[in-house]
Structure 1
């Protein structure tokens, strides 16, 4: 097994397009032997967020990183008219991708909301999942059921903002203010604990899809989405085991709450990643790649 700290970033990642329900879906792939792995990005990100992981894992695996519909290079059809942007939709997309593009069951790796989408795919389609790795799983703290547990004075703010965003011109203005390089960089500097990892390349990669037609509508639709599953709904009914990895310095998804997810029987292990933030796979691939590869190969050998 090669170390990701010495392996150079390969230029052999292929960027491809797959048609799903008549919509173009972007994805990246590398590797032609070994177990199949599908990586699922978080909110506002894309398959490019795995560009530092694909080449290293591809030395031993067949690797894919998918753009969820509405993000990255994938189509951004009108919310509620052409597509419902829910975890059930993304779960179906992931499952169909595994069957039609990969050709069989896979190890799923998710980051942030990508963890929820991956678990939804496994729960709804047990045949496609060999195991799941969750990197800083979204706790969905703005979910309706989460807010119901808060005192009234702490729970009314989010619905008020969501209501304002439903007004088209306000929502588009809000998205326009966020979709600026300086703002994106500042958000990333909150999420990443190593500022040197917030490069121009990363900012440009996340900014590019924001210029696509429909990008603002998708962003607003998901910002207003406070229903659907919580991680604690999906973990107990997973058809496979899960391993949780968590950057200890995540400012958005507190590790203290994340550790509670390890109490479910389907969770094999909870692995803290010391000093890392919300997107550890991109912030410190030299740390994350070896543990992900060990996880994949160990579970593949067991099968």
Structure 2
């Protein structure tokens, strides 16, 4: 298996620098990191990739069985790290990838030595004593809409997820990214994402961790960031002066600065 081709792996920055792995969220691909990579690549070896089913990945490698759980995506991460022989890399996961990183770090602790969680949510559905931001009915309706008309759902939801209505080009970019994903694959990834519950997994994290939240985020509200921070002993919580769920696009300088500050603290 050619993992580099399967996951469309790209590498930037100095060969001998500390390694940072950037992982995208649902409906996206590695292009979402393009405004952050140059700042990181000045000092760090930066690895980006596409999950199978996204971007330039090998679609023939996709299977319903593997990618109907977050563990399947975590296996992708571990296999990319093994292929590149990464040791103690810093895994930067956006949105659902924050939880995928938790699973990958647990499966291969020798490969991942620290986590950066960008707009993370261990559970999207509210529960007793927990506010994920959505009721079970909200998520049922979201998934029903997505499954019945994926392109229409994308055009409606992407601007909401992105926020920043004064910058419509950002919402359009996310819409285009969603629409470039095969609808059948997107339906499976969406169910895997929005029905997940990683609260117990988060409590197992023992590596240095940065929780990076936005001041306003319709998908991962502020209380969720506080929950993740409280669940991980010694973690650092940083609230960006940013709106929306994709700060790497809406506030790339602040996002890169927060990540670099955390990376420097590790050394």
Of the three residues 1, 5, 29, the one matched with 2:11 is 29
| 2:118 corresponds to 1:131 | no
> Residues 224 and 103 (structure 1 numbering): CA distance in 2 closer, same or farther, change over 3 Å?
closer
> Residues 239 and 157 (structure 1 numbering): CA distance in 2 closer, same or farther, change over 3 Å?
closer
Give the deviation of 1:247 after TM superposition: 0.3
The secondary structure found in structure 1 opposite 2:113 is strand
The secondary structure found in structure 1 opposite 2:11 is strand
Larger Rg: 1
Query: Aligned residue pairs: how many?
Result: 261
Contact 2:162–2:171 at 8 Å: present in 1 too?
Answer: no
Give distance in 1, aligned partners of 2:239 and 2:86.
33
Per the normalisation by structure 2, the TM-score is 0.84
| 2:152 corresponds to 1:177 | yes
Give the deviation of 1:69 after TM superposition: 1.4
Of the three residues 74, 84, 95, the one matched with 1:91 is 74
The secondary structure found in structure 2 opposite 1:115 is helix
The secondary structure found in structure 1 opposite 2:105 is helix
Of the three residues 257, 263, 266, the one matched with 1:296 is 263
Give distance in 2, aligned partners of 1:25 and 1:221.
18
Give the deviation of 1:219 after TM superposition: 1.1
The secondary structure found in structure 1 opposite 2:180 is helix
The secondary structure found in structure 2 opposite 1:195 is coil
Give the deviation of 1:190 after TM superposition: 4.6
Give the deviation of 1:246 after TM superposition: 0.5
> Residues 257 and 96 (structure 1 numbering): CA distance in 2 closer, same or farther, change over 3 Å?
same
Give the deviation of 1:233 after TM superposition: 1.6
Contact 1:99–1:105 at 8 Å: present in 2 too?
Answer: no
> Residues 160 and 37 (structure 1 numbering): CA distance in 2 closer, same or farther, change over 3 Å?
closer
> Residues 58 and 208 (structure 1 numbering): CA distance in 2 closer, same or farther, change over 3 Å?
farther
The secondary structure found in structure 2 opposite 1:70 is coil
> Residues 199 and 276 (structure 1 numbering): CA distance in 2 closer, same or farther, change over 3 Å?
closer
Give the deviation of 1:74 after TM superposition: 1.3
Contact 1:42–1:113 at 8 Å: present in 2 too?
Answer: yes
Of the three residues 203, 210, 213, the one matched with 1:243 is 210
Give the deviation of 1:239 after TM superposition: 3.7
Give distance in 1, aligned partners of 2:259 and 2:150.
34
The answer for the alignment partner of 2:233 in structure 1 is 266
> Residues 201 and 105 (structure 1 numbering): CA distance in 2 closer, same or farther, change over 3 Å?
farther
Give distance in 1, aligned partners of 2:6 and 2:32.
19
Give the deviation of 1:139 after TM superposition: 3.7
Per the normalisation by structure 1, the TM-score is 0.75
Give distance in 2, aligned partners of 1:130 and 1:277.
28
Give distance in 2, aligned partners of 1:161 and 1:200.
18
The alignment yields a C-alpha RMSD, in angstroms, of 3.1
| 2:261 corresponds to 1:286 | no
The answer for the alignment partner of 1:198 in structure 2 is 169
Give the deviation of 1:158 after TM superposition: 4.1
> Residues 23 and 50 (structure 1 numbering): CA distance in 2 closer, same or farther, change over 3 Å?
closer
> Residues 202 and 161 (structure 1 numbering): CA distance in 2 closer, same or farther, change over 3 Å?
closer
Give the deviation of 1:95 after TM superposition: 1.0
Q: Identify unmatched segments of 5+ residues in structure 1.
A: 1-17
The answer for the alignment partner of 2:44 in structure 1 is 61
